[in-house]
């Protein structure tokens, strides 16, 4: 939500400076995200008079101007067709930076004629898109010659950008923000009549009956108010309105359109204006018919369904109710008769329609939060009054179709709860003044009537929040919790300890932790079996399904990093997957790793960059499982990991045939294309709830007792069937003598010349650890015989 300081002071009578106002805003919960001064970049430009304009001696389209910017005549070469003697414009002297053109002005010779700066166009100063000629200022600029242009044009008005939380629909207008500041003691709130410089803000007494409008959708559009104005002239809006809109990034279009935008931002009240000449019959708020289409003001065509509220005439849909008007009935420069709509739309209907159409707008942002249902008459009166003041014409009567939900809401409040619930003792009189300053009505018995613009107030706790945030959260005393003497009892659960341990292990192995959304789109959930939990009212269609896997979020994060120049990405996340388990749904704690891009850069020995593969994923999975306390040496490598993994380049790690502890491998190329990632990408999923818990042995760690004797290593080369996995062979060798053999690993695999077809050579290093005494030769030979026999049971024979 953006507004300027002077705009705020149209509603707030205060002498506070920008620093005091922004500090107060953040203090009361309206966080200031930024402050801009649009005049800073134009500080070097000045108002100047063109004294003379002569043809350039060597260029037909150029002129040589004599310009007075307050320091005497300067010669300037100009190519603008409207440059002429006597006009007043904006001059940029040498040394200033032209923001719209991206260069610094210097004294230069143009076709042999020296030019000392330039006369500027609107586009060159980034004040608009016009560039056909240089800026022409009005007659009132005569006395401003020589002054900085930002001072003359009122561009020194700071722009304040405030972050409005979704519950504060009342602060989606400048007046609501002014009301909060007034309640906090930063000035007083001006009456609405003073803010709009009118004697009264009440329905404009029009001539005849009101326009033909009605609502047939009491749920989606409970109230539809309208007034027509005939004989308008839709010219440009006044300078003050254009300045306000331009300062906050809104593009002035025409007086009629600018009025609706101004009222929406000023008062948080969206409106719409129709060109009556483009309508066929009356307007009705109704449910759309399935398959109906409308071309919105953004130029896009939307297909509607029967759940959506629209405004239509006898011929077609003209408005996606409360979100965006239609192109076919929009006003133009030739519009002479208008219909002004001021309606109330149900917030839930607006949110669902906007999400389904993937369509956002300033109006939607306000309606889905909830605008003031009691402000229809006032909003329509203000808009009609501005149209009459700025565009002329004659107003009709007002039509009020339907009834807005304005039933009063009253809460019983105990002022003592400010201390018991909010932690701050605030005098009763002060609490009453705060609530009344925010628009609440407080009776002597503390029955509090909630204003119609505060849809978020639901109970006494909300009133406590209002009192505390205005009084000052920083005033709440910091009171430490009582602590019993002695050493605190450990409170971390086994699951929390496991997550801490494995998080440290992942970070120590060079991975960066990521935190991604717990929601994904339906398309992203589909490769993982779809979503078991789907939100009925999501904040976005892209965040609708509770994730069945952490991979979508991490793949998106990897793509963003690679798109921004990262050569290699190693990310991990610990979070929850949300799955269907029979008739029940449950969540599973999971650690997911993603390795994308380059594993190592190209070099003189490799020639090209190395990428991650399934073996990298397996190594990381085993290492982290070991860190988590899983019996990594007993795990079985089985099968492919599933449809989202590359066939033949993925697998699972299991403790027994059914207990899957992890999946690992290369992500399926089809899934990578969905996330616009170039492969290969290796990944790991470790299911933390599948890791067996260790039996508690107390808080003491066992004493470190390294072996007294050195280990003995022996190598064995086996000729094995081609389909025998290395894991099976190593497992068999390790189990040949569980007391003496402490480790076994594959260190060589060979096929080809010298190895018969259907066979492969696998070399295994076996580590033997003596206990009380060193092994004798006979004992080592006996262990070797056990190793060979164990291998033979798997179909492998010792090579000669």
- Specify binding-site residues for Mg(2+): 456, 462, 465-466
d(CA 438, CA 451): 9
User: Cβ–Cβ contacts within 10 Å for residue 794, how many?
Assistant: 16
Q: Rg of the chain's alpha carbons, rounded to an integer?
A: 37
| CA–CA separation, 542 and 733 (whole Å) | 51
Q: 450 and 410 in contact (C-beta within 8 Å)?
A: yes
Residue 461: enclosing H or E segment and its boundaries? helix 460-471
What gap in Å lies between CA 753 and CA 786, rounded to an integer?
29
Helix axes 376-391, 255-267, angle to 10 degrees: 150
Query: Cα separations (Å) of 127 from 44, 122, 157, 246, 328?
Result: 15, 5, 14, 8, 29
Whole-number Å distance between alpha carbons of 125 and 386: 30
Say which residues have a Cβ less than 8 Å from residue 483's Cβ, sequence separation at least 6: none
> Residues 6 or more apart from 636 whose CB is under 8 A from it?
653, 654, 655, 656, 657, 727, 731
Q: Is the peptide bond before 310 cis (omega within 30 degrees of 0)?
A: no
Secondary structure letter of residue 326 according to DSSP: B
Residues in Cβ contact with 495 at an 8 Å cutoff, skipping those fewer than 6 apart = 589, 688, 689
Residue pair 406/223 in contact (Cβ under 8 Å)? The answer is no
Largest Cα–Cα distance of the chain, in whole Å? 118
Q: Are strands 512-513 and 568-581 parallel, antiparallel or unpaired?
A: parallel
Residue 217: both structure tokens together: 């959708």
Whether the Cβ atoms of residue 743 and residue 760 lie closer than 8 Å to each other: no
β-pairing verdict for 159-163 and 223-230? unpaired
Whole-Å CA distances, 104 to 127, 146, 315, 385, 477: 18, 20, 56, 46, 54
In the 3-class helix/strand/coil scheme, how is 352-383 assigned residue by residue? HHHHHHCCCCHHHHHHCCCCCCCCHHHHHHHH
Q: Which residue ranges make up the annotated binding site?
A: 456, 462, 465-466
Q: Which one, of 36, 130, 58, 62, lies nearest residue 90 by Cα?
A: 130
Beta bridge partners of 746: 764
HSE at residue 384, side-chain half, CA atoms within 13 A, is: 29
Tokens linked to 451? 């204003």
The 10 Å CB-count burial string (b at 16+, else e) for 268-282 is bbbbbbbbbebbeeb
Rounded CA separation 685/621 (Å): 8
What residues contact 512, with CB distance under 8 A and at least 6 apart? 570, 571, 572
Q: For 796, phi and psi rounded to 5 degrees?
A: -105, 140
CB atoms within 10 A of CB 72: 7
Cβ-in-10-Å burial (0-12, 13-18, 19+) of 167 comes to middle
Cα angle value 658/659/664 (rounded, 5°) = 105
CB 734 within 8 A of CB 743: yes
């Amino acid at each position: 939500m953006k507004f300027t300081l002077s705009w705020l002071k149209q509603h707030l009578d205060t002498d506070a400076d920008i620093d005091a106002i922004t500090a107060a805003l953040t203090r009361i919960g309206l966080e200031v995200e930024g402050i801009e001064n649009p005049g800073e970049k134009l500080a070097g430009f000045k108002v100047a008079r063109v004294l003379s304009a002569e043809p350039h001696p060597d260029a037909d389209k150029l002129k040589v101007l004599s310009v007075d910017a307050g320091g005497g005549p300067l010669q300037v070469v100009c190519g603008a067709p409207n440059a002429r003697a006597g006009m007043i414009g904006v001059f940029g002297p040498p040394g200033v930076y032209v923001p719209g053109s991206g260069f610094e002005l210097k004294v230069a010779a143009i076709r042999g004629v020296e030019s000392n700066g330039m006369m500027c166009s609107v586009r060159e100063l980034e004040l608009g898109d016009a560039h056909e000629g240089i800026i022409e200022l009005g007659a009132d600029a005569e006395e401003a010659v020589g002054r900085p242009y930002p001072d003359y044009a009122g561009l020194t008005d700071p722009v304040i950008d405030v972050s409005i939380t979704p519950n504060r629909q009342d602060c989606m207008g400048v007046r609501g923000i002014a009301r909060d500041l007034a309640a906090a003691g930063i000035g007083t709130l001006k009456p609405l009549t003073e803010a709009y410089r009118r004697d009264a803000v009440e329905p404009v007494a029009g001539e005849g009956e009101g326009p033909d409008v009605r609502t047939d959708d009491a749920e989606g559009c409970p109230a539809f108010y309208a007034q027509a104005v005939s004989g308008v002239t839709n010219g440009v809006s006044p300078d003050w309105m254009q300045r306000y809109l331009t300062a906050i990034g809104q593009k002035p279009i025409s007086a009629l359109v600018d009025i609706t935008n101004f009222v929406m931002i000023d008062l948080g009240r969206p409106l719409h204006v129709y060109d009556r000449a483009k309508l066929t019959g009356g307007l009705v708020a109704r449910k759309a018919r399935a398959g109906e289409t409308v071309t919105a003001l953004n130029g896009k065509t939307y297909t509607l369904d029967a759940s959506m509220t629209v405004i239509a005439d006898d011929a077609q849909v003209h408005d996606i109710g409360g979100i965006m008007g239609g192109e076919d009935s929009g006003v133009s420069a030739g519009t002479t008769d208008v219909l002004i709509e001021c309606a109330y739309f149900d917030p839930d209907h607006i949110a669902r329609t906007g999400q389904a159409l993937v369509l956002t707008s300033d109006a939607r942002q306000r309606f889905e939060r909830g605008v003031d249902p009691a402000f229809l008459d006032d909003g329509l009166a203000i808009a009609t009054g501005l149209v009459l003041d700025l565009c002329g014409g004659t107003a009709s009567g007002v039509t009020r179709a339907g009834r807005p939900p304005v039933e009063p809401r009253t809460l019983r409040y105990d002022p003592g709860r400010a201390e018991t619930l909010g932690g701050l003792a605030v005098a009763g009189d002060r609490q009453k003044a705060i609530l009344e300053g925010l628009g609440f009505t407080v009776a002597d018995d503390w029955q509090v009537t909630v204003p119609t613009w505060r849809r978020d107030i639901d109970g006494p706790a909300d009133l406590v929040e209002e009192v505390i945030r205005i009084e000052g959260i920083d005033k709440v005393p910091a009171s430490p919790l009582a602590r019993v003497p002695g050493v605190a009892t450990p409170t971390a659960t086994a699951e929390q300890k496991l997550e801490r341990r494995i998080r440290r292990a992942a970070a120590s192995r060079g991975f960066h932790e990521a935190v991604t959304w717990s929601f994904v789109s339906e398309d992203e959930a589909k490769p993982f079996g779809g979503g078991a939990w789907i939100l009925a009212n999501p904040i976005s269609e892209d965040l609708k399904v509770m994730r069945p896997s952490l991979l979508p979020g991490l793949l998106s994060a990897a793509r963003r990093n690679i798109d921004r120049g990262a050569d290699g990405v190693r990310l991990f996340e610990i979070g929850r997957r949300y799955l269907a388990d029979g008739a029940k749904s449950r969540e599973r704690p999971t650690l997911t790793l993603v390795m994308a891009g380059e594993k190592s850069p190209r070099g003189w020995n490799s020639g090209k960059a190395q990428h991650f593969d399934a073996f990298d994923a397996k190594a990381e999975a085993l290492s982290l499982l070991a860190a988590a306390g899983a019996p990594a040496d007993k795990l079985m490598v089985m099968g492919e990991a599933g449809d989202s993994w590359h066939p033949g380049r993925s697998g699972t790690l299991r403790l027994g045939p059914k207990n899957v502890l992890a999946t690992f491998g290369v992500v399926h190329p089809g899934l990578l294309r969905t996330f616009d990632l170039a492969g290969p990408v290796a990944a790991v999923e470790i299911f933390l709830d599948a890791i067996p818990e260790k039996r508690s042995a107390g808080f003491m760690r066992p004493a470190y007792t390294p072996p007294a004797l050195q280990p003995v290593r022996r190598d064995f080369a086996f000729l094995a069937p081609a389909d025998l996995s290395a894991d099976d062979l190593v497992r068999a060798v390790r189990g040949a003598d569980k007391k003496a053999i402490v480790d076994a690993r594959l260190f060589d695999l060979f096929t080809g010349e010298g190895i018969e077809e259907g066979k492969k050579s696998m070399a295994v290093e076996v580590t033997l650890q003596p206990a009380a005494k060193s092994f004798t030769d006979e004992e080592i030979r006996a262990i070797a015989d056990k190793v060979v026999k164990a291998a033979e049971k798997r179909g492998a024979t010792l090579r000669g």
